[in-house]
Structures are given as structure tokens and as C-alpha cells.
Structure 1
Amino acid sequence: MGVLGLTGYIRHQRETFLRDYNLQNTKLIIDGSNLIYILYKSYGIPFKSGGDYYDFAAKCKKFFETLTKKCHVVPIVIFDGADDPSDLKLETHLKRLDQQFANVQKIIRGNTFILPLLADLTFRNILDKLGVAHASCLFEADREIAFLANKFECPVLSADSDFCVFNLKVGFIHPDDLLPLPKNCTGNLPTKIYKCQDLMNVFNRNPDGLILPVFATLAGNDYAEFSSDAFIRPMNAPMAEITSQQNKKEVMYNSR
């Protein structure tokens, strides 16, 4: 669903939050719905006039063969399913549809990227041909991806900032730190990995508990939008008191 501004903040402070990591000899839980977009765009594959599915299929095949044959990585790809029947994300979906319509007009005049319609099907066909394990969730896949990553004690590959607030045992790899793959891979893929413990260390907090989900809600995401004119002090304050003033919500952290 995404946490507003969190990815940009972490990547801007990469020396604090990103650690060196060699991707090899491990399972890798992949956010499939996210990777389709990232792979197509990162390799600069033509997307106008319906897209170049032959080139995209070749890039997908090379990506997974590099992981499995050269780095001995076992990829497990998990896709989002249907929309949440609660309609909690309805407003977000409508906004994204409006943006897609706007992009259709822009693509005629410039180079605004739009994922070709059959990219998803092409990607899944390559997974089937290579025998890569993959599954679709009933609804949004974030929690299932995090569960599998902790179960197998392996990293997650995704550009979704939601994984910045999951307490993952091994961590979270952003595709920008992995793609495009080097031409000559020597058995491992040097990349960067993020762990939420590093974010919590900045605020002297333990990642266990509810502090990260609460933070994500305050920052704003696809389910909740927080708006306040109040100044929110650093998170190392021990307690919070919620008050109401002139019909506006204010959050005030009182330090002892």
C-alpha cells in the first residue's frame, strides 16, 4: 500500500539505513506485482504501441536464470489478488485510475511510462517455463510476503515501502539496488539491504510492538490519510496525548 515519503527518506539517508549484502545461496520472496513494473521500466524496454513482449520475456528469463543458476537463489514470487472487499482502498484506486487516464494523454506528447497490458501475462508465462514457484493471494500480498520471508529467514525484494515497517528477520531489498543486473555475475549479486531495526535505532525504539504500524498510519498510506497542523516532536518521547482543538486533531508528545 505504501507509506508516504518513507522510501525517499530511507534512500536519502542510505548510509544510515542500508547495509551491504551479497545475494546468494538463499531463498528470495519477491513481490511479483511490483517486480513486473520495475523490470519492464528498469531495462528501458519499449512500451509504446503495445510494448515489446519478446524483449521483456528475454529480460525476465535472464533475471531469474541469473538468480537460480549463477547465485543459487531460490525465488518465490507472490502476487496481489483481488481488491479488498472492505473498499478501504477504493479512494486510492480511483485516484490511480485518474492518474492512468492522465498518463494516456501524456504518452502521446512525451515519454510517460505505462506498463503494457500483457506484461503481467508474459511475466507469469516465463515463471511457468522456468519452473519458478509463484502464487497469488486472495487480496493484497504484503502480509503473506512478510510471513514467508520470516518463515524461511530470507530477504524480500520489492519497491513497496510497506516492507520498511515490517519486522523482517533478514531484511528488505529495493530493486533499484539490484537492477539492472551486472553483465558478468560471478556467483553473487552485491546489493543493499534494509532492516527496520536501523530505523528504530534512530528513535531508540524496539521494532517489536505497534510503533511502526502507528508511524505508518500517521505518515499516511493507501488506507489512512493523516492531516494535522500540529508539530509532531521526535518519536523518542515516552508518551502521547491526543487532544482536540477547533475540530482539528493534534498530536503532542510530552517528554519527561
Structure 2
Amino acid sequence: MIDPITLQQGTDWRAQAEVFDEIFFVFLTLGTVIGIIVVSYTLWNVYKYRDDGSEAPEDFDAPVVGELPTGQGGPKAKKLFLSFGLSAIVVISLVVYAYGLLLYVEDGPDTGDEGDIEITVEGYQFGWEYFYPNGHSEMNELVVPADQRIDLKITSRDVWHNFGSSDLRIKSDAIPGETSETWFTVSSEEVQEQGGEATYLVECFELCGSGHSAMKGQITVIPQDEWEEWYAGTEGDSEGANSSNVESDLGTPSVTGSAVGGVSA
């Protein structure tokens, strides 16, 4: 099994998006190669054993529908067990490989809880509110630093939602009275590629009411020093800290049976 330690070197952690892209590429490549081999071998046998109207040799052991080609240790049996053995090796290797990577995605990089940023995400009809450790909150825009593991605690104040960003490959339920967890990280290289500020679309992936399609937000990633300056400026800022103020502006959300049930979008 792949040791999750190999997926991180110092602060160069593998982002979830990178891990999922690698898994997809490996499975696509192997699937294509194996598919070409299998189809080519099948077509070769179709040509080799085609019916050309001539008499079959006396020692020809023709396949029979419904019969396993095990024979008595003959060539058909060897081909069967060879193909089975190779298939088992490929499948088991892929399972072990993917499982090791998915464990890393599930647990995240081991940072020793030093420097991690934990942010609470609260969904409501129809938007997102982000609560920072210092009590500051932001509506619909999550501002975080690059090269940092960001831990998200996700919940909802009214009906079922689902917080996710396709670009970052993160997706987690937002359920009233419960808290789900996920994490992500964005490298400074990716931030620089986007001109010094990387932005990612946030959407709700749970059908939560009439405004579901408009329930969008944004994750903004900036360099560490810029974020520290921004974060220091939020000290003592009570903007949006009291969620009741938001509810008074938006109106108290009504919990309907159809919205609570939710249908994954």
C-alpha cells in the first residue's frame, strides 16, 4: 500500500484535485492499454480460427459453448490460467494503489495540527457563511492562504445542502444539527499561474429549494503574507459574526418536507 507520507514533502502536499486526476489518468491509461491488447488478441483469434470451409485437423480441440477451456492441462488451460493470473495481478495492484491514495484524501496530510486553519462553513437558503477562528465571518467568499491545509467543518442552519467545488475536487454534506469534515490545499505555484489570486467556484450539490441553482460562492486563495495581513485586519470585526443578523435580513428559512429530503444534484 502506498504510504501517505510519500504524498507529502514538507509543505508540498498533494491537493485532492491532483490525487483524483492521477487516479483517473492511471485507470484511463491502463484501461486503454489492456483494452487494445484484449481487442487485438480477440481479432487475431477471429482471423486465425475463421471458418474458411476446409476440413479441421483431427487434433483440433474446438471450443464448446458453456464449457470452461480447462482440458487436461492442455494449451487452452494454460491460456485460461495465464489470463486469469495476469488479470488478478492488475486488479489487485490497482485496488491497493487507489486505496492508499484515497486514505490520504480521507485523512489529509499529517501536519501535526501546526499551522492548520479550521473554518466552519454554514449553509443556508441560499448561500454560504464562513466562520474563522477569530470570530470573523464572510458571506459567500472564503479567503484562505496558499500552501496551507484548510480544514472545513460543514453544517447547515436550515435544510440539507451539499458544499462542493469541482475544481478542488471537494464535496461534503451540510446537514442541520450535524457536522461533516473535508480539507483542501492550493499551492502557491497555482496561485501565481492565476495572476497572484486563485479563485474557485463553490456550489450546492443538493437540491435544497427554489434558489438552489443560484446558491453559489467562491474560494479565493492568496499568498500567505497577503492573507496574514488580511486576516489581521479582521480582528474584532463582527461583520456577519452573528448569524441571527443574516437571518433577519434574509428572513427566517422555512423548512419544508421536500427541501429537507433533498435530492442529490
Scaled by the length of structure 2, what TM-score is found?
Answer: 0.27
Q: Relative contact order: is structure 1 or structure 2 higher (C-alpha 8 Å, sep ≥ 6)?
A: 1
Q: Which has the larger radius of gyration?
A: 2
Q: Which structure is higher in helix share?
A: 1
